[in-house]
Structures are given as C-alpha cells and as structure tokens.
Amino acid sequence: MSVFRRLLSKRQPDPSGRRWLFVPYDQLSDNMGPLSREDPRTLGIVLVENTWKAARRPYHKQKLGLILTNLRHFALEQAERGVAVRHVVANAPYRTALKQLGPELGSIRVMMPAERELRVDLQPLVDAGGLEFISHEGWLTTSEQFGRSAKKAPPWRMDAFYRYVRRDTGILMEKGKPVGGKLSFDVENRLAWRGDPPAPEVPTFPVDPIKREVVELIESRLNHHPGQLDLHRIPGTKSDAQQLWSWAKSKCLPNFGPYQDAMSKGSSSLFHTRISALLNIHRLLPVDIMDDVLGIDLPLPSKEGFIRQVLGWREFVHHVHVATDGFRNLPSGDPSIVSLPGDGGYARWAGKPWPHKSLGDHPDGGAKPSFLGGASPLPPAYWGEKSGLNCLDQIVSDVWNEGYGHHITRLMVLANLATLLEVSPRELTDWFWVAYADAYDWVVEPNVLGMGTFATGDLMTTKPYVAGAAYINRMGDYCETCLFDPKGNCPIADLYWAFLARHESLLKSNPRLRMIMATLRKRKASLRSRDEVVFHTVRNGLMEGLLLSPRDLPGR
C-alpha cells in the first residue's frame, strides 16, 4: 500500500452519515465554503485524481506535481480534522466518476467551478439532480459589481472596474478618497532592474514521502508530459503555502511596485510573489492575501500595485471570461470553436501527436477569435529549440524549467513576439495553458486572447500590447548577451514596424496609436520593404526551428 493510502486510512474517520462535498483540484481550502463553517464530523469530501484530465493537454510536469501533491496533502489535512475523505482515481470525465458515487453517498454539493471546462463537464449531472452547484466563495467581487462598474460595456476596461471596486469596497480609501491621493501608482512603477536591490532567492520546500510518490506516479504514468519537475520548488502542504506567502511579504513586496515591469535573465520572478499557482488552487485565499497586504507596512506604490493585481486584474479577467462564456459570445460576432483541446504546437515539435486518449463527449478546445487574423503555427522556439533571440530563449528556458514566468515576460516577450509573427492566438493560448503551472481557462484565455494578442479586438484593451527591441532592452538585460544588437540589427524592431504596416488599416484610427502610426507613415519605403523581408525571414527561420544570426538578415 502506498504511503499516501496508508496515512489516509490511518486518519480516516467513520464516513457514515456525512454530507458530501466534491472538492475539485482548484478548491483546496478549508477556509471557504462548507468546509469553513460546517462541523468536520458531519462532512465528507470527494477528491478525484483524474488521468483523463491530465491527458487533455500536454501540461507541464511541474503543474501535475503541484496539483497532485497538494490534493493528497489536502486529503490528509482534512482527514486529520475529522472530515471523511473519499479519494477516487478516475480516467473519465468528472461527472462519470461522481455519478458512480451517487447511490452510495447521496446528493453531493460542489462550489461553482472556476474552470468553464469543469462546469460544462459537470452540468449534465447537475441537471439530472446528482450534483448541486453552490456559490464559489473564493472570489473578492461579484458579477453584480462587475456589471455596475461597466455601465455601457463591453468593451470592458480593467481600470474602470478597479476604480469602481476600490470605491465600492473602501479598500485603500480614506473618507471616500484614495490613500495617497490617487487610485493608481502604475506610472511610477516602471523601473528597470540592474542588480540592486538583489533579487530574493526563491524558497524551497521539503521533499516528503507524499511528494516522492507523486514523482513516481508522474515518472511511471505521465512521463510523456513536457517540462522539468523540481520537487524542491513545489509548495505541497498548507504550511508550505504559508511559507511561500511569508517569503513574498517580506522579500518581494517591499520592492514589488518599482520593479513590476522589469525583466532579468538572472531571476525569473525578481520581486514578483510567485503565488498565482497557489491562489488559483486556493491553497492561498485572495481575501487573506488582501487582508495581510493591507495590514502590513509597505511603500504605497508597492501596496497599491499589488492590490491592483489581485483585486483588479485577477477578478476582472474572471468576470470577462464568465460574461463572454469563455469568449464564445463576443460583441463582434461569435468566433469558431476548436473541436479538440489544443496542444500548443506540441505535436509538431515532438514529431508525434499528443495522446488525447478518449475525450468522451466533451472534446471542446475553446474559442478561436483572431481580430488581427494571425493564423501561423507557434515556432518550436517556444518548446525550447534555440532561436538566437536571447530574450525569447532565456524566458522559454525558464518556463520549461519552472512552469513560471512573471507578467511582463509573458506579455511583452512571449505574447508580443508571437503577435508580431502572426501566430494563431488560439495556439498561443494553448501553449500558455500547458506551459504554466498557474493556467486555467478563466485566467489564461482572457490574458492571451483578450490582452496578449488583441485577438478579441478592443474587448479588454484599447490597443495591442506590441513593442520592439527598445522596450525589451530598456526593461530587461537579455540584450547584453545576445548576438543581436537592440539598437542595430535586432529583428524585433523591424518585426514591430512590419506589424504596424500590415495592420495599418485596422490600427490607424486607434487614438492610442496615433503618434506611432504617424511615424510609420513617415518611414522610408526602402525601410518598410526591408521590415517585410525581415518579417518573412525571421518567421520562416523560426518556423523551421533555425538558430538565427545577424548574417541571416538583410543589411541596412
């Protein structure tokens, strides 16, 4: 018998006469919902370890390790509290696994799943009366607040939502006025980082027998998944989660604000907190995080900057996802829906298809909007083949080593470059979904489709987040060791101009792009045709998996 099973059966209380709750992989908290207020001796929880779910996409091994370790520790923690635990191993949709338990356990409740994919899976069982959705208590804001903040929207704007919520909740407000005199310190929070103050060392966590068994499971049954599995970097228990949060509060948050947009090859997180993966599975609760941050002494730009991320961005993207039914209902017209979960280009890179196994009657692979028309495949560089573009190579390497990267590397390098290369926004979304340990449909789809690629037009942002080499050089240090020169032969500058030229008719009336489009119009014809040649050379080279060098590009 495995250590996990032995420990669980030792702690397991008598399961008879309990009211049962299904706890999905991303609701691992006893500080919200029925687990937080009902007597543990009256409760039972169902936890499902599901290879069917893992097989839907080539998820990073670090994500599998994180979820399985936390799920098993959560089972043990709850049994210790006196909650009966039904730990099920399944290889089928969740509703199939739960339906089989119905005759034995009676009616089962579940907090409304955050992932649309899981809601859709469970709905038939809810309709048949075998499962009851109750409200999800992990969110900080309601859809009513979102609706009230938006008035005539869509389009939706995070700033309007955030301003509304700050006023409505009184968070960081004094006598109706924002603390510090303004609602956002964003413009002050744009320093590059050149090594001082030193970036905090990322914490490690104990490797216990539960983790070791999870690794054995991954190595024996899920070893075809990509990415490095680093056990020491997995916070697996409730106390590990607290340890990560304590580290974030003391080592990261004091410098969080000023260096929020900085990037470095020396540190994949700099002063970012790395808590997203734990927030999204509710090992850390947004409400506790907010209370803590409001209660500690921090420079205001850091405090406000961080609160804007959790109270603003995180809540906002979730509301947009729900309001559009996962971007299926768009004001510009409904996009097509992909028939299978995407692999983000895995099959092309690996030279073999991703073994989906049986997808049952639930094969949907998500909405496929593409406002700018990008439809190219994702280059193998995103799977770790060297491209010669140092910013891309370093960041991709960090992602496959850790399943993590901070916001600016995701937005201004990975999504930016893919957009400049006309990559399919859906394929890029699927890549982000599989490559990052914190990715779930409600958060990855708005961030990539809505924000990173402008695939939904101005639904969430006023303009595409695209930039040339000057931005990457200003905010990061990758250029120092690159074959290319950001002020000379770096192709990203040319890709940027080529992008603006290709989409001139769509972008020229955008008020936020007026200046840059005027500069484009003044750009010499010879340079514009060179931009186009560079675009084709770089795109074709990267698609073929070539290592680019300055020699491959036309001279100026």
Ligand X SMILES: Cc1cc2nc3c(=O)[nH]c(=O)nc-3n(C[C@H](O)[C@H](O)[C@H](O)COP(=O)(O)OP(=O)(O)OC[C@H]3O[C@@H](n4cnc5c(N)ncnc54)[C@H](O)[C@@H]3O)c2cc1C
- Candidates 53-61, 227-235, 307-315, 468-476 — which segment interacts with ligand SF4 by CB under 6 A? 468-476
Stretches 367-375, 388-396, 452-460, 537-545: which one binds ligand SF4 (CB under 6 A)? 388-396
User: What is the contact mask toward ligand X in residues 307 to 326, using x (rule: CB under 6 A)?
Assistant: --xx--xx--x---------
Options 293, 399, 479, 501; binder of ligand SF4; rule CB under 6 A: 479
84-90 and 108-111: which strand pairing? unpaired
User: Residue 315 corresponds to which amino acid?
Assistant: E
C-alpha to C-alpha distances, 385 to 173, 318, 379, 393, nearest whole angstrom:
49, 33, 9, 8
Bridge partners of 350? Answer: none
Q: Which of residues 168-207 bind ligand SF4 (CB under 6 A)?
A: none
CB of 439 to ligand X, least distance (A): 3
Shortest separation between residue 473's beta carbon and ligand SF4, angstroms: 5
Considering only the stretches 23-31, 335-343, 444-452, 540-548, report the one whose residues sit in contact with ligand X under the rule CB under 6 A.
444-452
Rank residues 255 and 269 by Cβ distance to ligand X and give the closer one. 269
The residues, ordered by sequence, that sit 6+ positions from 546 with a Cβ below 8 Å of its Cβ are: 387, 552
In the complex with ligand X, the residue whose CB is nearer, 84 or 293, is 293
3-class state of residue 49 by DSSP: strand
Q: Is 274 in the site for ligand X (CB under 6 A)?
A: yes
- How many CB atoms sit inside 10 A of residue 136's CB? 17
Which residues of 291-430 form beta strands (DSSP E)?
none
Q: Which is nearer to ligand X, 140 or 548 (CB)?
A: 140
Q: Which of ligand SF4, ligand X, none binds 390 (CB below 5-8 Å, type-dependent)?
A: ligand SF4
Please, what is the Cα angle at 62 between 57 and 90, to 5 degrees? Answer: 55
Q: Which does 473 bind (CB under 5 to 8 A by kind): ligand SF4, ligand X, none?
A: ligand SF4
Question: Nearest to residue 227, comparing CAs of 356, 91, 388, 404?
Answer: 404
3-state SS assignment for residue 236: coil
**Considering only 6-14, 99-107, 456-464, 481-489, which stretch makes contact with ligand SF4 by CB under 6 A?**
481-489
Alpha-carbon gap, residue 341 to 356, rounded angstroms: 9
State which H helix or E strand residue 178 sits in. strand 177-178
Shortest distance, position 494 Cβ to ligand X, whole Å: 23
Residue in 21, 415, 423, 500 binding ligand X, rule: CB under 6 A: 415
Which CB, 108 or 415, lies closer to ligand X?
415
The whole-angstrom separation of Cα 146 and Cα 285 is 20
Name which of residues 291 to 310 contact ligand X (CB under 6 A): 309-310
Query: CB-based burial of residue 547 (10 Å sphere; 0-12 exposed, 13-18 middle, 19+ buried)?
Result: middle
Task: Write the interaction track for ligand X spanning residues 450-469; mark x where CB under 6 A is met and - where it is not.
Answer: -xx-----------------
Pairing of strands 177-178, 173-174: antiparallel
Q: Which of ligand SF4, ligand X, none sits in contact with 317, Cβ below 5 to 8 A by type?
A: ligand X
Select from 484, 496, 497, 499 the one that contacts ligand SF4 (CB under 6 A).
484
Q: Which of residues 129-168 bind ligand X (CB under 6 A)?
A: none
Which residue of 68, 443, 460, 467 would you call a contact of ligand X, by CB under 6 A? 443
Query: Which tokens belong to 23?
Result: 């706890």
Binding status of residue 472 toward ligand SF4 by CB under 6 A: yes
Phi, psi angles (nearest 5°) of residue 28 = -85, 65
Written as six digits, the tokens of 401 are 């080593």
* Nearest distance in Å: CB 410, ligand X: 4
User: At 84, which amino acid appears?
Assistant: A
- From the CB of 1, what's the least distance to ligand X, in Å? 36
* Residue 44, binding choice from ligand X, ligand SF4, none, Cβ under 5 to 8 Å by partner class: none
Long-range Cβ contact pairs of 27-30 (< 8 A, separation 24 or more): 27/111, 27/113, 27/136, 27/138, 27/281, 27/282, 28/70, 28/71, 28/74, 28/281, 28/282, 28/283, 29/138, 29/282, 29/283, 29/285, 30/77, 30/78, 30/81, 30/83
Binding site for ligand X (CB under 6 A): 269, 272-276, 279-280, 309-310, 313-314, 317, 406-407, 410-411, 415, 432, 436, 438-439, 443-444, 447-448, 451-452
Binding site for ligand SF4 (CB under 6 A): 389-391, 469, 472-473, 478-479, 482, 484, 486, 490, 492
